[in-house]
Amino acid sequence: MAIMYDADAQELILKTAEELKKIPEIKPPEWALFVKTGMHKERPPVKDDWWYTRAASVLRAVYRLGPIGTEKLRTKYGGKKNRGVKKEHFFKGSGNILRKSLQQLEKAGLVKFTENGVHKGRVITPKGRSLLDKIAVQIHGTNPKQEQWIVQKTETAKEVAEIRQEPKSVKKTEEGTEAKKEAKQEHKAEKKTEESPQQA
């Protein structure tokens, strides 16, 4: 069965965004049409439904990196700001957008807050994992390159398994007997060359 890591990230995020549109808890705020996603951006997003794409991307990031909080996600979604002739500087992404996205995903039951020792933040829930894995299965079934790669992987795995099944002792004895035979033949040849001038 294919899991989230088997699917193309961009395609997975786009299809997950379409599924998130069906969940009433996830909806863009009123200011989503005018706001930038970070200080490093020059303009707001072009697409009107960018909120769902960002929420889907955040859900995938929580699946991969959780437990994770807003600050680490800000670094992940940050970028370099073009300052003209001045040197570029890195700026973090918008914390408000990520915070609201996490809160909405938590209300929808796709992520939850947890503390694991010194690490605390959001982690994926079984419902969220099931959503991403189901979409990954759909993508994997319609991607011939992935299928071809898996076929090649299984074939190589079979070859490796067959090699491992052969007993090592048999291999060593076969190699040892062949080496002994070659050594005996070389020794006989050397003896013949040494005896031939003496006889003459």
> Are 34 and 104 members of one domain?
yes
Q: Exposed (0-12), middle (13-18) or buried (19+): which is 99, by Cβ within 10 Å?
A: middle
**Domains held by the chain: number:** 2
Using a cut of 0.85, tell me whether the model's pTM lies above it: no
CATH of the domain at 104: 1.10.10.10
Residues 6+ apart with CB under 8 A from 182: none
185 pLDDT exceeds 50? yes
| Mean pLDDT rounded to a whole number for the chain | 77
Beta strands in the chain (DSSP E): 79-81, 89-91, 111-116, 119-124
Q: Report yes or no on 73 lying in a domain.
A: yes
The contacts of residue 57 (CB under 8 Å, 6+ apart) are 13
Is the predicted pLDDT of residue 156 greater than 80, yes or no?
A: no
Domain that holds residue 40: 4-155
Looking at per-residue pLDDT, the higher value among 179 and 42 belongs to: 42
Same domain, yes or no: 85 and 119: yes
**Quick one: 51 and 149 in the same domain?**
yes
Is residue 161 one of the residues assigned to a domain?
no
Claim to verify: residue 48 and residue 82 sit in the same structural domain = yes
Looking at the structure, tell me whether residues 118 and 185 fall in a common domain: no
The pLDDT of residue 83 is 84
Rounded Cα distance, 169 and 190, in Å: 31
